[in-house]
């Protein structure tokens, strides 16, 4: 018979004195709330990171292939030929879902009263619209399948608002080159991804217009965008693409290399999460230490008797640690229920909203990582119990004769 379990289970919630019972319940609730907040924090932070990076990659592709000097300041200066060994066969490589062409050219949009610098991103009929269609707020996508260059443009809501333009309007774009040129395409659609830094810059345009403006050949492009199946393969796939598929005269870089800042900012959220986790664990531990001391002091008489009956210190300490584990376990149960419940509520009713211009997304997304949740539970239990080893030494100070002499 396991004496620890036998006794611990029976006395789990104190000696029945209302005050100590109350403290024990507080401790369980504190553990529960900590776990609840940990789960929600983790779900929010990972949801946020995943959602923002999904948007970033959706907008730009995971990997860009370009000429060595071509990929600067939103302008593709040195065109490369579309006839490459990797195009379009690269999308048959495991882990790669798409490859498509682009060519970017900066221009200035002018209206009667205003002007605004933008970048026209030229795309062709193979462009995958699934990403932009999600964020289309008005009008339609470009139609690029025709024989002739499409005189259409898709602009962001930011640009439309700044310049007072709407679907159906013609938009004058001037290009600073020698000699200066201008185009007047029709706005056929307005998108809003929420990635403000990109939205305020990019408009989509037929790549054939860019070629013409730049005096490129029919088979020249600014570069290629490569999309992966799974962002977790990013580093590995970037290397593979660079070393195995792309010729030496071309450059391939992944989005993290092109735009490290935003990814560093995303990674920074991990630190916030860690700070919260550590603080909450400490709160849980402090509450549990109080609970454990109360349990022990409540039970000095029992401890004395058990020792008189021949229980050693470690056996008695184990009873209280087991007891604490029961309280932590109940707290965790409560915390998981509460935390998962809150996550479900947020997923269903989206009541936590974010300012989109600073966070790129308007609704705080939720991503539940089941393995992380299990680990959080195990770690809370483990860390609490380890921390409780020290106060449980109090048991060794209680002498059997004290309990027996002074009842």
Partner 1 sequence: MIQATNIKKSYGELAVLKGVDVNINKGEIVSIVGASGAGKSTLLHILGTLDRSDSGDLQIADTLINALNDKQLSAFRNKHIGFVFQFHHLLPEFTAIENVCIPAYINGTNEKEAQTRAKELLTFLGLKDRMTHKPNQLSGGEQQRVAVARALINQPDVVLADEPSGNLDSDTSQELHELFFELRKQYEQTFVIVTHNKELAEMSDRQLVMKDGLIV
CB of 328 to partner 1, least distance (A): 21
- Cβ atoms of 184 and 119 within 8 Å: the answer is no
2, 126, 177, 272: residue in contact with partner 1 (rule CB under 8 A) = 2
Does 228 bind partner 1 (CB under 8 A)? Our answer is no
Of residues 134 through 163, those in contact with partner 1 by CB under 8 A are none
Distances, alpha carbon 100 to alpha carbons 14, 199, 223, 238, 292, in Å: 68, 20, 9, 16, 63
CB of 11 to partner 1, least distance (A): 6
Please choose, out of 5-13, 56-64, 320-328, 379-387, the segment that lies near partner 1 by the rule CB under 8 A.
Answer: 5-13
Please choose, out of 1-9, 58-66, 187-195, 371-379, the segment that lies near partner 1 by the rule CB under 8 A.
Answer: 1-9
Secondary structure of the chain as H, E, C letters = CCHHHHHHHHCCCCCCCHHHHHHHHHHHHHHHHHHHHHHHHHHHHHHHHHHHHHHHHHHHCCEEEEECCCEECCEECCCEECCCCCCCHHHHCCCEEEEEEEEEEEEEEECCCCEEEEEEEEECCCCCCHHHHHCEEEECCCCCCCCCCCCEEEEEHHHHHHHCCCCCCECEEEECCCCCEEECCEEEEEECCCCHHHHCCEEEEEHHHHHHHHCCCCCEECEEEEEECCHHHHHHHHHHHHHHHCCCCEEEEEHHHHCHHHHHHHHHHHHHHHHHHHHHHHHHHHHHHHHHHHHHHHCHHHHHHHHHCCCCHHHHHHHHHHHHHHHHHHHHHHHHHHHHHHHHHHHHHCCCECCHHHHCCCECCCCCCHHHHHHHHHHHHHHHHHHHHCHHHHHHHCCHHHHHHCC
Does 407 bind partner 1 (CB under 8 A)? Our answer is yes
Which of 309, 371 has the CB closer to partner 1?
A: 309
Which of 179, 310 has the CB closer to partner 1?
A: 310
Paired tokens of 133 = 């269609």
88, 95, 106, 400: residue in contact with partner 1 (rule CB under 8 A) = 400
Please choose, out of 28-36, 195-203, 244-252, 399-407, the segment that lies near partner 1 by the rule CB under 8 A.
Answer: 399-407
Taking the C-alpha atoms of residue 107 and residue 82, their distance in angstroms, rounded to an integer, is: 24
Size of the site for partner 1 (CB under 8 A): 27
Does 371 bind partner 1 (CB under 8 A)? Our answer is no
Which of 108, 302 has the CB closer to partner 1?
A: 302
Which of 183, 307 has the CB closer to partner 1?
A: 307
CB of 360 to partner 1, least distance (A): 58
CB of 312 to partner 1, least distance (A): 4
Of residues 314 through 353, those in contact with partner 1 by CB under 8 A are 314-315
Of residues 22 through 41, those in contact with partner 1 by CB under 8 A are none
Does 10 bind partner 1 (CB under 8 A)? Our answer is yes
Of residues 164 through 183, those in contact with partner 1 by CB under 8 A are none
Which of 26, 404 has the CB closer to partner 1?
A: 404
Which of 5, 353 has the CB closer to partner 1?
A: 5
Which of 4, 214 has the CB closer to partner 1?
A: 4
Which of 18, 358 has the CB closer to partner 1?
A: 18
Of residues 282 through 321, those in contact with partner 1 by CB under 8 A are 301-302, 305-315
Residue ranges that bind partner 1, judged by CB under 8 A: 1-3, 6-7, 10-11, 301-302, 305-315, 399-401, 403-405, 407
């Amino acid at each position: 018979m396991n004496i620890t379990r036998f006794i611990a289970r029976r006395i789990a919630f104190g000696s029945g004195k209302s005050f100590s019972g109350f403290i024990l319940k507080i401790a369980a609730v504190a553990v529960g709330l900590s776990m609840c907040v940990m789960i929600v924090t983790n779900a929010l932070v990972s949801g946020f990171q995943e959602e923002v990076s999904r948007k970033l990659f959706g907008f730009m592709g995971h990997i860009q292939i370009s000429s060595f000097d071509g990929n600067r300041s939103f302008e593709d200066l040195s065109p490369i030929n579309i006839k490459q060994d990797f195009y379009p066969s690269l999308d048959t490589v495991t882990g790669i879902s798409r490859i498509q062409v682009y060519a970017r050219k900066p221009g200035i949009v002018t209206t009667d009263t205003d002007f605004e610098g933008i970048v026209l991103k030229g795309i062709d009929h193979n462009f995958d619209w699934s990403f932009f269609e999600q964020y289309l707020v008005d009008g339609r996508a470009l139609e690029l399948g025709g024989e002739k260059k499409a005189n259409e443009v898709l602009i962001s809501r930011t640009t439309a608002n700044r310049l007072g333009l709407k679907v159906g309007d013609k938009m004058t774009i001037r290009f600073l080159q020698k000699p200066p040129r201008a185009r007047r395409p029709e706005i056929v659609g307005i998108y809003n991804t929420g990635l403000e830094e990109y939205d305020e810059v990019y408009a989509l345009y037929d790549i054939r217009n860019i070629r013409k403006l730049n005096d490129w050949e029919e088979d020249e492009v600014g570069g290629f965008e490569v999309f992966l199946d799974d962002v977790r393969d990013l580093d590995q796939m970037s290397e593979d693409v660079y070393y195995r598929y792309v010729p030496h005269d071309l450059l391939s870089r992944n989005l993290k290399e092109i735009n490290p800042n935003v990814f560093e900012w995303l990674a920074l959220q991990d630190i916030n999460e860690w700070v919260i986790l550590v603080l909450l664990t400490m709160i849980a531990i402090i509450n549990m230490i109080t609970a454990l001391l109360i349990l022990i002091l409540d039970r000095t008489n029992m401890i004395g008797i058990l020792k008189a009956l021949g229980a050693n210190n470690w056996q008695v300490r184990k009873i209280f640690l087991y007891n604490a584990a029961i309280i932590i376990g109940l707290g965790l149960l409560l915390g998981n229920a509460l935390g998962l419940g809150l996550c479900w509520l947020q997923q269903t009713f989206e009541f936590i909203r974010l300012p989109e211009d600073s966070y790129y997304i308007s609704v705080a997304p939720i991503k539940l990582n089941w393995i992380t949740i299990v680990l959080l539970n195990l770690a809370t239990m483990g860390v609490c119990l380890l921390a409780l080893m020290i106060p449980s030494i109090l048991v060794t100070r209680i002498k059997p004769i004290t309990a027996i002499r002074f009842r």
